[in-house]
Structure 1
Amino acid sequence: MNAITPPASLAAASRPAAAEAPRRPASATLSTAPLGRLAVQAGSVAACVLLWHLAATLRLNLGAVTFANVPPPAEVLGAAWALLQSPKLGGHLYSSLLRVGLGFGFAALIGVGLGLLIGRLRWARNFLLPPLEVLRPIPAVAWIPLSILMFPSSEGSMVFITFVGALFPILLNTIHGVEAVDARLIASARSLGTRRWRLFTEVIAPGAAPSIVTGLSIGMGTCWFCLVTAEMIAGQYGIGYYTWESYTVQNYASIVVGMLLIGALGMGSSALIRRAGARLMPWYRPQGGAQ
């Protein structure tokens, strides 16, 4: 008996359809390629510098904002070259990096530790969170007079200011990360006999790690912001002190150099934290992102 041959259309329908690779628009090819992204980013920076040059050279006056006294990019470039040749540059960088490193390191240890406890343990939330929430809205500038009274040296007070600035972003992001850990993962680990300490190290901490890295990155940015404020008042070396000293002698181009250097250091240190976080979390892949 001959086998019944199904129609060609039915046979084709019965076979699993091959998954088609999603087609990307042709316009997205350049923007998604590494060289394309780099070109777009460089073009964005060049456009900002061009607008700055035009506004400064034309002495643009918009009523509420005027560029009459803003130095043009060429003048700022000359001031940057003079700073590179200055023997004080090494001292400024060393002082600022040391203060940021100490303040951020203490903030990371205390912020992550307290965040894990407050996010997981009810007694820690009830006992520790209320005073921290009272202190959180106080700006770092308001701590400067008290820090000068508390610490015998100006270095200690400046490190304390950077610590305060970085602490609360790290703390809050850690708490939110712990609260967002899937309760089913915790229940499964407990059912397999995982005890409290291993539950923290093997389930809760890895689950909260993306939020912790985000808090560390934000905390690094606020750390630089607070350091500059502290150095303007109590420092003798540092990028913030250099910027403030340039203002007192009315060297406006050097002010912009200090601002750009602070921005570059803050951006670079935050990028290093994100890169280190990506290396430590190979399992984590963000679901969102720019298209």
Structure 2
Amino acid sequence: MKPSHDRLLRWGVQAASLLVCVWTWHLLSSRHANLGFVTFANVPDPTEVAESVGELLASPKVWLHLSSSLFRVGAGFALAALIGVGLGLLIGRATWVRLALLPPLEVARPIPAVAWIPLAILMFPSSEGSMIFITFVGALFPILLNTIHGVNGVDARLIASARSLGTGRWRLFGQVILPASAPSIVTGLSIGMGTCWFCLVTAEMISGQYGIGYYTWESYTVQNYANIVVGMLVIGLLGMGSSALLQWGGRRLMPWYVNQEGRA
């Protein structure tokens, strides 16, 4: 099969899966289906959600919501990427750093983002700083753990071969360890970006003004069910798009890497 035909087939399957999901959603919500353990009596129909999307796009606040959320996610993710990758590389290569830092990080890792809200409010004088901190916490640990996994997974034979050729410590790090662990780092960044958006609603519960997460939470408090779904869809699409952008950039920066499907 030609590559172009294969690509079209992939897109067709993906589009069909989305259509099936929307059709199933419409069928269950329009008929107020009650499956016993779950009911769709109060779930808005796709047409109601589409009308709410139009209302949101026509609202002058839409760009304030989007820009506020993008800034918080971007700032939190940038800090998490910088600290997570840096610490991951150090922990993966330096035994004493691993012994000193990994235990407290492992204790903090299972704590959910919502549990950090009271402490974030006490730590930061502004709500903006608190929200950025929550998104930072959400993205940090996937990036950190994937970076450590990538460094630990570097083939020892590559390191031994480089050392036998007289490669110094910094050249070994820059030319062997970092390129070999880059696929895991990119995976961690992609997962961290998704988790960042996942924590957005939790973060924007602190603020009472703007943001897609706040828009979703406010819609819940006033029982505007269609707007809840709109907020969820916007967060999902933005999260998917930003993760895909990171993966695309990673593939461009790693021409030597080919995944299991044979794609660079």
**TM-score interval w.r.t. the shorter chain?**
over 0.9
Equivalent residue, structure 2, for 1:65: 38
Tell me, in whole angstroms, the C-alpha distance in 1 between the residues paired with 2:252 and 2:4.
Answer: 25
The CA deviation at 1:233 is: 3.2
Q: Is the 8 A contact 1:154 1:235 kept in 2?
A: no
Code of the aligned partner of 1:81? G
Flag the 1:31–1:42 CA change in 2: closer, same or farther, 3 A.
farther
- 2:13 corresponds to: 40
Do 1:143 and 1:161's aligned partners in 2 also have CA atoms closer than 8 Å?
Answer: yes
Pairing of 1:266-277 with structure 2 (within 5 A): 266-277=239-250
Counterpart check, 1:111 vs 2:98: no
Taking the aligned partners of 1:114 and 1:164, their CA distance within structure 2 comes to 14
Unaligned runs of at least 5 residues, structure 1: 1-23
Deviations, residues 183-217 of structure 1 (Å, cap 9, x unaligned): 11111111222211221111111000000000000
> What are the equivalent positions in structure 2 for 1:195-274 lying under 5 Å apart?
195-274=168-247
Going from structure 1 to structure 2, the CA distance change for 1:85 and 1:205 (only over 3 Å counts) comes to: same
- Summarize deviations over 1:228-276 as a string: whole Å, max 9, x none: 1111233421001001111122111111000000000000000000000
Q: How large is the RMSD of aligned CA atoms in angstroms?
A: 1.7
Paired residue secondary structure (2:205): helix
Q: Does 1:158 align with 2:134?
A: no
Quick one: distance in 1 between partners of 2:68 and 2:260? 40
Q: Deviations over 1:33-63 (max 9, x none)?
A: 1222111111111111111111011000011
* TM-score normalised by the chain length of structure 1: 0.87
Q: Which amino acid aligns with 1:178?
A: V
For residues 60 and 32 of structure 2, the distance between their equivalents in structure 1, rounded to whole angstroms, comes to 34
Task: Return 147-156 or 128-137, whichever deviates more.
Answer: 128-137
The runs of 5 or more residues in structure 2 that have no matched partner are: none
Using the TM superposition, name which of 30-39 and 199-208 deviates more. Answer: 30-39
Identical counterparts, % of pairs: 74
Higher relative contact order structure (alpha carbons within 8 Å, sequence separation ≥ 6): 2
Task: Tell me, yes or no, if the aligned pair for 1:30 and 1:36 is still in contact at 8 Å.
Answer: no
Distance 1:181 1:230, change over 3 A: same
TM-score by length of 2: 0.96
Moved over 2 A (4+): 29-32, 232-235, 287-290
Give the Cα separation in 2 of the matches to 1:31 and 1:110: 40
